[in-house]
Amino acid sequence: MEAAVPTDFIRDEFSCKPNFDEAMARIEALFKDELIDRTPIRFSGHNAEFDFSDGSTWTPERWKAHRFDFDAVVERTVREMESAR
């Protein structure tokens, strides 16, 4: 049995994405400092999969307060860094 290349594994994981090949081509072009038709677009927050806060019922104002409270952001970051040790 032939080993799967990484994109085959990823393709299986994202089989519900109809334009997967186009999206991957854009990402690969970005890393080659090239542009096909546009840059890749991300619709989720950075590291959203690691944000375990229950914000499902938060209002946009609450989200803004959560993200723009500098002291709270620093405290969360310090906690995350300490827990990673």
| Structure confidence by residue, pLDDT tens digits, 29-63 | 888 888 888 877 766 666 665 666 665 677 888 88
Whole-angstrom distance, CA of residue 71 vs CA of residue 9? 41
* pLDDT (mean) for 17-33: 85
Task: Verify that 58 and 37 share a domain, yes or no.
Answer: no
Containing 30, the helix (H) or strand (E) segment is helix 20-31
Same domain, 4 and 37: yes
**Model-level pTM greater than 0.85?**
no
For residue 59, what are its two tokens? 């209002």
Q: Which range of residues forms the domain containing residue 60? A: 48-83
Domain boundary among 25, 41, 57: 41
